[in-house]
Structure 1
Amino acid sequence: MIPYTGGCQCGQVRYEIHAEPLTLYLCHCKECQKQSSSAFGMSLTVPRDAVVIVQGKPKSWTRKSDNGREVNNLFCGDCGTRLFHERTYNPNTINVKAGTLDDTSWLCPVGNIWTRSAQSWVIISDQLLNYDGQPEDVRPLWGKWTQQHP
């Protein structure tokens, strides 16, 4: 399936991912709820150097996350679609907002983070890795992904 392709709603920004993802999880923090206009955001973590912008140029702004760390948010300047989150504390990976992929049929999250902020009606499966807040170590999320996607 490599490269994975995606882009914004209006088509001005397009990207390719030239490596297998490291993990996919749902984030229930208040910021992800706001940016997604939904109950959670989906984050597909991939190696930073595997993402190539092939059309357009995303705009960015930086905010503090719920745990106080800085996150650089990249989005289409025309339609506003959020495309990526770059965590300044981890420059080797980037979180692709998974709903922007052209083909989302294969996505299956392996975990949930910030469950303490989850909407009361969201069902959190105990079959997944679940964290009350930001996990100190993301390697278990990566490991569970690798088990499901050998």
Structure 2
Amino acid sequence: MIPYVGGCQCGNIRYEIRAQPLTLYLCHCKECQKQSSSAFGMSLTVARDAVVITQGQPKAWIRKADSGREVKNIFCGDCGTRLFHDRAYNPSTINVKAGTLDDTTNLHPVGNIWTRSAQPWVTISDEMLNYDEQPDDVHLLWDKWTQQGF
């Protein structure tokens, strides 16, 4: 599957992920609901140096997350597609918005975060790692991803 490839809706921004992702989880915070126009956002955590923009130049803006931490939101300036969340508190990784990948058929989330904000009609599986807020140790999500053979 390497490289994973993806891009924005209009096709002006294209990227590659050139290493195996570290984990995939669903975030139910109000900001992810707003930015995805859905019940949750999908975050595919990868090593920062594994993500390469192959076409175009994305734009960015910074916001405060529900956790109070700053997050740089990287998006296409033409169609507005959110591509990445760059978190200053974790400089070695970046979160790719997994729905922007060309092929998502082999992606299976291993956890849910900010479940206290989840829409009441969303079913949270007990087979996944689940957190009411931001987990203190993201390595548990990484370990579960690895255990499932990703």
TM-score clears 0.5 = yes
Cα offsets for 1:77-99 (capped at 9, x unmatched): 00000000000111100000000
Count of residues paired in the alignment: 150
Residue 138 of structure 1 aligns with which residue? 138
Cα distance in structure 2, aligned partners of 1:34 and 1:121: 17
Output the CA distance in 1 between the equivalents of 2:86 and 2:115: 21
Query: What residue number does 1:62 align with?
Result: 62
Structure 2 gap segments, 5+ residues each: none
Q: CA deviation at 1:66?
A: 0.3
User: What residue number does 1:48 align with?
Assistant: 48
The aligned residue for residue 101 of structure 1 is 101
For residues 17 and 67 of structure 2, the distance between their equivalents in structure 1, rounded to whole angstroms, comes to 28
1:94-139 CA distances to partner (integer Å, 9 max, x unpaired)? 0000000000000100000000000000000000000000001001
- What is the root-mean-square deviation in Å for CA atoms of aligned residues? 0.5
The residue type equivalent to 1:79 in the other structure is C
Matching residue's letter, 1:90: N
The 5 Å alignment of 1:86-97 reads 86-97=86-97
| Equivalent position amino acid for 1:93 in 2 | T
| Alignment of 1:117 onto 2:117 | yes
Tell me the amino acid that sits aligned with residue 124 of structure 1.
I
**Whole-angstrom CA distance in 2 between matches of 1:57 and 1:146:** 32
- TM-score (normalised: structure 2): 0.99
Hey, what's the Cα distance between the residues in 2 that align with 1:16 and 1:120?
Answer: 35
Other-structure match for 2:128: 128
Between the aligned partners of 1:4 and 1:139, the Cα distance in structure 2 is 22
- Where in structure 1 do 4 or more consecutive aligned residues deviate above 2 Å? none
TM-score by length of 1: 0.99
Shift of 1:149: 1.8
Once residues 57 and 118 of structure 2 are traced to their aligned partners in structure 1, the CA distance between those partners, rounded to angstroms, is 32
1:23 maps to 23
d(CA) in 2 for partners of 1:137, 1:145: 14
Q: What is the letter of the counterpart of residue 115 of structure 1?
A: T
Question: How many angstroms apart in 1 are the aligned matches of 2:14 and 2:149?
Answer: 25
Amino acid of the structure 2 residue aligned with 1:80: G
